[in-house]
Amino acid sequence: MQKIAVILYGPPGTGKSTQARFLSAKLDLFLSDTGRYLDALVHDEKNQKNKTIRRERELYDSGKLMTPSFVLRVVEQRVRRIAKTDSSLILSGSPRTLYEAEGLLPVLAKEYGRKNVYVFVLDVSKAVSIKRNGLRYLCRVCGAPLLAQYYPSKHPKHCPVCGGPLYKRTDDKPELLATRLEQYENRTKPIFSFMKKKGYRIIHIDGRPAPFKLFRTIYGHIEK
């Protein structure tokens, strides 16, 4: 298969991370989940003496998007390292701002070719996003995401994949979700028009179906 880059977008709770994991396993794509990577980076105790990291952590924990120049630098470095290994790539939720898109898209076009960059937007309503975020858990061991609605227990404690302990992301707190949704609407959605003008195809998909059905739809577009 030709080397490709996939970008997944959608408001909080659309299952971007889940679909990224499925596609990574099926198509042998290097998975770069920007949200999780930045979460781990700014909350790593070893980094707390760094003033920049502390600043970005405050933004992250408030539900706001982190400084675009900081995020672009981190993501661009990862993309270039991955491309050097001749690996295909999947980005979950990145670039997140127009500034990041203006800096990162030329890199993706150079490394993968514009026609080999697939951009998917998983669309759900605000109500669905709020509901899903309230039900979302992550595994501390294998990182698998879990929606409680697909789990027998109303309050799951252990990962169904590896048995590890589950936890809720800092930015999934109800009081932060309104801010995150506003940030997606005002700072991420404008990227789609910019991408279209640059010749990228934006594929909108209904994000409400169960994860396996959503995966079949996304995979079908890539395999055409």
What φ, ψ does residue 166 adopt, rounded to 5°? -95, 155
- DSSP assignment letter at 164: P
Q: How confident is the model at residue 29 (pLDDT cuts 50, 70, 90)?
A: very high
**Which pLDDT band, with edges at 50, 70 and 90, does 133 fall under?**
confident
Between CA 129 and CA 11 the distance in angstroms is: 7
91 strand-pairing partners:
7, 32
3-state secondary structure at position 182: helix
Share of the chain above pLDDT 90, in %: 62
- The pTM for the full model equals 0.83
Least confident segment among 89-93, 105-109, 141-145, 190-194? 141-145
pLDDT in the model for residue 197: 95
Sign of CA dihedral 64, 80, 13, 115: positive
d(CA 76, CA 16): 20
Segments of 10-105 assigned E as strands: 29-33, 88-92
Whole-number pLDDT of residue 148: 63
What pLDDT sits at residue 149?
62
